[in-house]
Structure 1
Amino acid sequence: MDGRESYEFTWVGKREAIAEAGRPTTKTLRPDLDESVDFDKSENIFITGDNLEVLKILQESYLGKIDMIYIDPPYNTGKDFVYSDKFQKTDEELKEDMDLLDEEGRQVVGLTKNEKSSARYHSDWLNMMYPRLRLARNLLKDSGVIFISIDDNEQANLKAICDEIFGEENFVEELIWKRRTTPPNDRSIGKNHEYILIYSKNQEKLSLGLLPRDSESLSRYKNPDNDPNGPWVAADLSANGKGGRLSLSTVFPIHSPIDNKDYYPPEGKSWLYNKEKIDNFIQEGRISFRSTGAPFLKRYLSEVRNGVTMPTILLDSGNSQVSAKELDSLMERKSLLEFPKPTKLLKQLLQVANVDKSISVLDFFGGSGTTADAVMQLNAEDGGNRKYILCTLDEEVADKSAAKEAGYETIDQISRERIRRAAAKIQEEHPELVGKQDFGFKAYKLDSSNFKDVSAQPDQFVQADLFDSVSNIKEGRNGLDLLFQVMLTWGMELSLAIDYEKIVGAEVYDVDQGSLMACFEDEISEEVIRHIAQAQPLRAVFRDSSFANSADKINVSEIFKELSPHTKVKVV
């Protein structure tokens, strides 16, 4: 055997795609209060920006914390766009190579058309997906699961990179979703399906849920004889003989009091139980007899699983026509976005992903916002408390499109409006949930670091740093900007509750009831410092320019040593 040969899946650019997944980001997330809904209380997150950078930013705060990921990435049909990740190039080279400037010199945000005629048609798509999936895997809990929608253009390649990233042993299943009610009739074989690949983080720790039983299946259970065990259905009492051999202990007559006859199992079969158990069941009323005299087993509703298994072929999970009408009706405008997924499909995936109704869900190809809509709908239906994190690009809508005519400039604007409208619709239909269910979201936008020198970000808590820091904050960045970058750097979740308090005119932030307290005013009085120290937070942070001189900084250190010696203090 030639020792140089081995089985591997590779393509042009793979080495750089792997390296890109490990490169740190210099970006941060800035809160967007104007676009948010119930920012102070909501635990849902909506992020606008390149999802590769966003996934890197979320690594510290959400490492191993996500229960379910669903993504509907570009399918690489030759007509759609893929994110352009050109490694080791300057901004000028990137714009020139990828035609990222329009005719008026404006930059086209993060996308480039990937024609099938390109020599790197598949490679460019793989280079886009590989680092994102590597980073996404890190965010999943050990019990977590990822669902990925795809079609035939890249299904095989997606399966190959997922086998590499998640491990072949963690492949769960491939679902076939019927996306069209009828196949297209302009060809010999009309494709009317897509795929959904499912992978776990750790197959041994995965615990999938069931789909709820429909009302029709539940209506079969009756209780005409007032059985104390509750509603039941008549079930077959016989079973096939294993291996073609029947056990003599389960082939015997059952005497029926209805017609005073003995009944045997059908030829080639046996009873489900031995004679002793059958006799006990008859005494208990678990075995009854039909009007003809034949025995049957009562299968009680209380004994069946609380749900049904999801099939691998999804024929009744909504389709593209349903999803288009769903979005059009909600937005009161036709064709704002192409190819949205139906909420019914997403709700089924949410139900199967985990038996817990309080799971965290990530969708970093957020598109039209179907995932958020489905989360809110399902919570309203079953009393769940699921939370979502959505990320999408601020990709400009096409000129002369329905979206442009409706006044939308970018895709993320449509996504947020869809979520707002979906929330309003659910609250209108379920007024009892108003004030009880989370219908809001915290909006964030990807941006450059708040610090001029990105190497000097706040990544350590040491009292000595109080004197070593030099003001490094960019102009135009406010206290909330700084607060959230500090939170992300220190691995705190974006959804944590934040209380605001005015202390002698200074705004003080309290994150998660004392996990972190901060004040970024231009001037901070000793009264404010003492107020924060007396609260004894785990961590406290201030901006360097708040203190006129080193004597003021020494005073801060002495106050915390006196009132809260265990608080970790940082100046940025």
Structure 2
Amino acid sequence: MIETTLKGNTPDIAEENIQKLKQIFPEVFTEDKVDFEKLQQVLGDYVEDSNERYNFTWNGKGRALRLSQTPSLGTLRPSKEESKDWDNTQNLYIEGDNLEVLKLLQKSYHSKVKMIYIDPPYNTGNDFVYPDDFRDSLENYKKVTGQVDSEGNRISTNTEASGRYHTDWLNMMYPRLRLARNLLTDDGVIFISIDDNEIDNLKKICGEVFGVDNFLTCITRATGTPTGGGFDGFVNEIDYILVYAKLRESVTIRGLSFTEDDAKIYNLEDKDGKYLTRPLRRTGGEDRREDRPTMYFPIIAPDGTEVFPLGPTGYESRWICGKSKYDELVENNLIEWKQIEKDGVKVWQVYQKFYLENRTKQPGNLWINVEGNKKATRAIRDIFDSNKVFDFPKPVGIIENLLELASFGNDLILDFFSGSATTAHAVMKLNVKDGGNRKFIMVQLPESTDEKSEAYKAGYMNICEIGKERIRRAGEKIKEEKVLEAQNLDIGFKVLKLDTSNIRKWQPDYDNLEQSILDYVDNYVDGRTALDVVYEIMIKYGLDLDYPVDEFTIAQKKVYSIGFGMLMICLDNEITTEVAKGILEKVKELAPESTRVVFKDNGFKTDSNKTNIKEILKSGGIEEFITL
């Protein structure tokens, strides 16, 4: 049996990367240190040893990189009372600094997120950009949520007068993107909204983090809300969405659904539905037989005559496909013949049929006739009873389109700058539209609303309150409007909040050591619940945070079962062998593939009880025994 003790920090990413390097290149390690000269020799031609080389750097980049690899000492505390449909939902809403949250998600969601969409601060001087504290991110988070620094100065904006205008923004984005990449599946995609203020810098750091070869496109989107003019003389009518893959060769970008206007051109109909036709012969003047000789062959018309792909003046052209593909089209009723009169002679023309059902259109990267920002603002007002509680929301339709391109089925969607939770709204809408069961994780800093704003006056003290309420209202509205289609729609979400670890640190008072020992005996921080500790254990052991958490009473002690017996936790005191026997019975009933069992280290009635419990669990097939 494996016996371990739970620690209060997340995995050390730097240490994990070193271990991976050791597996690939064991010969470059000397006394457990990397010999960079040997590593250069192993890598050969792939090493750039010139001082003059292409790179992108700024003040603080090294510290920002190290910050992304520093383990988090925080945790996520559940908030049932602010959640919706806690027991059944698979969606998460997380309040906290997204840097710390991304660290906490590394183990549970590594390579599990199919699509990320973020709308980060554009760094216009008015949005929320704050410098990370490289020494203590959790303390920094507490200061930031109070909107003032240690000296009482507001730190919610980053103006050009700061002297570190672009640097602060880059130091904020770089570690977050590095952590986000780890969460993407190999066929995952990230979409990042930005305007022309930081697009050059964003593309450079994305090229470094995701690899320049994994750049897919830059979507240019008409905002519908022209801004600017004045001294610059130009009106800004667009913003951008950068698109990067985790691994380009693994990605599939799907088509977009047709709109009503798209469908109007399908003006023919037969027993199989509405369709349109296009000529089977290539119609370009340069598409001659010699271009693709395998696509020049006779096909048999309805009257038995042979038809060749001939151009208007009789030149030899070609078909749009080869013979085997043509036979497949015939077999699937996708060929239509028409007889037309030409120079007094009836001739046969052959066409391919395209049915409307299940048809999609290939997306371009210029999005002009799309839902604009004004409609997004109206949508917020509609949801919140005519109150404009959030400035500059993204249009739901835009994010729906992105979701349709890069996700389907049960895919997991992440937005770690979630704002008013437009992405969650779009996920629910698209799930109804295409029958999917996408799940979302929204992450948002609880940034305070301005006391003069409509949001504050309407009772929303921070942005998270707006986001959670939007999901509640939007979900109910979708259910009301799409009764049958939405009957199985998940419109709930579990709320989790960033905080310091529940596990108490040993901080002895040497002037009163006896009392310090007594205080430490309780194991975890005052004011924390057993459920708080359960979720911290789930995070540290990499379990999905949407797993069901069930409570049982065994031998008068409370036992938690996570993921139908994958993890069994008892945090009570005076634990006896009867508890261990009851846990084994429950595990046998639930029948998980494997089970871990967790107790408090000082929760056993006696030391002999602890020894006997370990033996009982081992004899029952439990291979991992954990104490905290």
Asked if these proteins are the same fold (TM beyond 0.5), I'd say yes
The counterpart of 1:202, out of the listed 247, 255, 266, is 247
Alpha-carbon deviation of 1:406?
0.2
Separation in structure 2 between the aligned mates of residue 168 and residue 530 of structure 1, nearest angstrom: 56
Separation in structure 2 between the aligned mates of residue 93 and residue 386 of structure 1, nearest angstrom: 33
Secondary structure of residue in 1 paired with 2:236? coil
TM-score of the superposed pair, with normalisation by structure 2: 0.79
Secondary structure of residue in 1 paired with 2:544? coil
Q: Which residue of 2 aligns with 1:462?
A: none
Q: Which residue of 2 aligns with 1:32?
A: 79
Q: Which residue of 1 aligns with 2:101?
A: 54
User: Do 1:94 and 1:100's aligned partners in 2 also have CA atoms closer than 8 Å?
Assistant: no
User: Do 1:521 and 1:546's aligned partners in 2 also have CA atoms closer than 8 Å?
Assistant: yes
The residue identity in structure 2 corresponding to 1:218 is A
Q: Which residue of 1 aligns with 2:625?
A: 569
Q: Which residue of 2 aligns with 1:233?
A: 276
**Quick one: structure 1 residues 84 and 185, their matched pair in 2 at CA, closer, same or farther if it must change by over 3 Å?**
closer
The counterpart of 2:190, out of the listed 146, 151, 154, is 146
User: Do 2:257 and 2:360's aligned partners in 1 also have CA atoms closer than 8 Å?
Assistant: yes
Q: How many residues align?
A: 549
The residue identity in structure 2 corresponding to 1:41 is N
**Quick one: structure 1 residues 8 and 99, their matched pair in 2 at CA, closer, same or farther if it must change by over 3 Å?**
farther
The 5-angstrom pairing of residues 393-432 of structure 1 reads 393-432=445-484
**Quick one: structure 1 residues 521 and 93, their matched pair in 2 at CA, closer, same or farther if it must change by over 3 Å?**
closer
**Quick one: structure 1 residues 68 and 505, their matched pair in 2 at CA, closer, same or farther if it must change by over 3 Å?**
same
Q: Which residue of 1 aligns with 2:579?
A: 528
Structure 1 residues without counterparts, runs of 5 or longer:
456-468
Q: Which residue of 2 aligns with 1:265?
A: 311
Secondary structure of residue in 1 paired with 2:54? coil
Separation in structure 2 between the aligned mates of residue 81 and residue 199 of structure 1, nearest angstrom: 24
Moved more, 214-223 or 532-541: 214-223
State the percentage of identical aligned residues: 37
Q: Which residue of 1 aligns with 2:597?
A: 540
The residue identity in structure 2 corresponding to 1:69 is I
The residue identity in structure 2 corresponding to 1:557 is K
User: Do 2:337 and 2:350's aligned partners in 1 also have CA atoms closer than 8 Å?
Assistant: yes
Q: Which residue of 2 aligns with 1:75?
A: 122
Separation in structure 2 between the aligned mates of residue 147 and residue 282 of structure 1, nearest angstrom: 40
**Quick one: structure 1 residues 118 and 398, their matched pair in 2 at CA, closer, same or farther if it must change by over 3 Å?**
same
Q: Which residue of 2 aligns with 1:360?
A: 412
Q: Which residue of 1 aligns with 2:516?
A: none
Q: Which residue of 2 aligns with 1:213?
A: 258
| Cα deviation 1:30-71 (Å, max 9, x = unaligned) | 001111111111110100000000000111111111100000
The 5-angstrom pairing of residues 298-317 of structure 1 reads 298-302=351-355, 306-317=359-370
* Structure 2 residue 612 is matched with structure 1 residue 555: yes
Moved more, 324-333 or 513-522: 513-522
Moved more, 444-453 or 242-251: 242-251
Separation in structure 2 between the aligned mates of residue 153 and residue 269 of structure 1, nearest angstrom: 54
User: Do 2:288 and 2:316's aligned partners in 1 also have CA atoms closer than 8 Å?
Assistant: no
User: Do 2:276 and 2:355's aligned partners in 1 also have CA atoms closer than 8 Å?
Assistant: no
RMSD, aligned CA: 3.6
Alpha-carbon deviation of 1:540?
0.8
TM-score of the superposed pair, with normalisation by structure 1: 0.86
Moved more, 148-157 or 309-318: 309-318
The counterpart of 2:500, out of the listed 448, 463, 466, is 448
User: Do 1:506 and 1:528's aligned partners in 2 also have CA atoms closer than 8 Å?
Assistant: yes
Separation in structure 1 between the aligned mates of residue 138 and residue 413 of structure 2, nearest angstrom: 33
The residue identity in structure 1 corresponding to 2:276 is V
The residue identity in structure 2 corresponding to 1:150 is I
Alpha-carbon deviation of 1:381?
1.1
Alpha-carbon deviation of 1:120?
1.2
Moved more, 87-96 or 546-555: 87-96
The counterpart of 2:439, out of the listed 384, 387, 391, is 387
Moved more, 504-513 or 63-72: 504-513
Moved more, 25-34 or 238-247: 238-247
Q: Which residue of 1 aligns with 2:397?
A: 344
The 5-angstrom pairing of residues 438-477 of structure 1 reads 438-453=490-505, 472-477=523-528
The counterpart of 1:319, out of the listed 367, 372, 393, is 372
Secondary structure of residue in 2 paired with 1:233? strand
User: Do 1:11 and 1:123's aligned partners in 2 also have CA atoms closer than 8 Å?
Assistant: yes
**Quick one: structure 1 residues 218 and 85, their matched pair in 2 at CA, closer, same or farther if it must change by over 3 Å?**
same
Q: Which residue of 2 aligns with 1:464?
A: none
User: Do 1:250 and 1:272's aligned partners in 2 also have CA atoms closer than 8 Å?
Assistant: yes
Separation in structure 2 between the aligned mates of residue 98 and residue 420 of structure 1, nearest angstrom: 24
| Cα deviation 1:75-125 (Å, max 9, x = unaligned) | 00012221321324799999999995389x8796xx531111222111110
User: Do 1:254 and 1:263's aligned partners in 2 also have CA atoms closer than 8 Å?
Assistant: no
* Structure 2 residue 417 is matched with structure 1 residue 373: no
Secondary structure of residue in 1 paired with 2:105? helix
Moved more, 272-281 or 232-241: 272-281
**Quick one: structure 1 residues 294 and 183, their matched pair in 2 at CA, closer, same or farther if it must change by over 3 Å?**
farther
Separation in structure 1 between the aligned mates of residue 309 and residue 254 of structure 2, nearest angstrom: 40
The residue identity in structure 2 corresponding to 1:571 is T
Structure 2 residues without counterparts, runs of 5 or longer:
1-48, 508-519, 588-593
Alpha-carbon deviation of 1:323?
0.3
Separation in structure 1 between the aligned mates of residue 414 and residue 325 of structure 2, nearest angstrom: 51
User: Do 1:263 and 1:294's aligned partners in 2 also have CA atoms closer than 8 Å?
Assistant: no
Alpha-carbon deviation of 1:399?
1.1
Secondary structure of residue in 1 paired with 2:160? coil
Secondary structure of residue in 2 paired with 1:396? coil
**Quick one: structure 1 residues 379 and 94, their matched pair in 2 at CA, closer, same or farther if it must change by over 3 Å?**
closer
Secondary structure of residue in 1 paired with 2:249? helix
| Cα deviation 1:252-294 (Å, max 9, x = unaligned) | 999998xxx9995224772426999999899996332247756
Q: Which residue of 2 aligns with 1:289?
A: 339
The residue identity in structure 1 corresponding to 2:611 is I
User: Do 1:470 and 1:544's aligned partners in 2 also have CA atoms closer than 8 Å?
Assistant: no
Alpha-carbon deviation of 1:506?
3.0
User: Do 2:502 and 2:525's aligned partners in 1 also have CA atoms closer than 8 Å?
Assistant: yes
Alpha-carbon deviation of 1:221?
3.3
The residue identity in structure 1 corresponding to 2:539 is L
Alpha-carbon deviation of 1:510?
1.1
User: Do 1:76 and 1:82's aligned partners in 2 also have CA atoms closer than 8 Å?
Assistant: yes
Alpha-carbon deviation of 1:530?
1.5
The counterpart of 1:503, out of the listed 548, 554, 569, is 554
The residue identity in structure 2 corresponding to 1:234 is T
